[in-house]
Copies of this chain bind each other. A is one copy, B any other.
Amino acid sequence: MEKPKDDQELAEEVRSSVDEAWPLFVDFLKKKQARVTQARKIVLRKVFSRHDHFCADDLAAELSSGLDHVSRGTVYRTLALMEEAGFVRVIRNTDGHAHYEHVFNHPNHEHMICDVCGEFIEFSDDRIAERIALACGQKNFAQRTYRIVVFGTCEACGR
């Protein structure tokens, strides 16, 4: 049973996610012989300051015009790194945009996307993961990750 989170709890969770994620990202960069830069820290912090899903371009827009300035190109490059590091997932909608979400402190879950309002609804089901693993075994396919998107109409829009 999970009670709704209030603002303070959310803020807490954000802080801890960034605090946990950053050192891990630093490790990842070092292992890769890449550099630990301000821009990368700013992008990571921004990504974890959001709870919802966001699209690359919006993030780039926000960061390329604020105080902690990071250029569009760098935002895209950093998001690619973060995906490689496994901190972030891409979900390609039917529109051309790349939607991202962070996966840190966030159990495996999939999405329903409402055709009408575009809302993302999360769900998860361990059984599905099992069946997918099974199918991969049968095809001798070494699974790295998978993505499920269900399209349809959400409760609010259906009424």
Q: Which residues of A contact B (CB under 8 A)?
A: 90, 92, 94, 96, 112, 114-115, 121, 123, 125, 127-128, 131-132, 134-136, 138-155, 158
Contact = CB atoms under 8 A, between A and B. Distances in A.
Given A96-B96, A127-B131, A139-B121, A151 B145 contact: yes
A94 B151 CA distance: 18
Contacts of A145: 150-152
Contacts of A90: 94
Q: How many copies does the complex hold?
A: 2
27 contacts: A90-B94, A92-B92, A112-B141, A123-B135, A123-B139, A125-B134, A127-B127, A128-B128, A128-B132, A131-B131, A135-B150, A136-B150, A136-B152, A139-B154, A140-B158, A141-B150, A141-B153, A141-B155, A142-B154, A143-B152, A144-B151, A144-B153, A145-B150, A146-B148, A146-B149, A146-B151, A147-B148
Contacts of A140: 154-155, 158
Nearest to A150: B146
A130 to B, nearest CB: 9
B128 A154 contact: no
Nearest to A115: B144
Given A96-B96, A140-B158, 7 more contacts: A121-B139, A128-B128, A128-B131, A142-B158, A144-B151, A145-B150, A147-B149
A39 to B, nearest CB: 23
A115 B144 CA distance: 9
Nearest to A132: B150
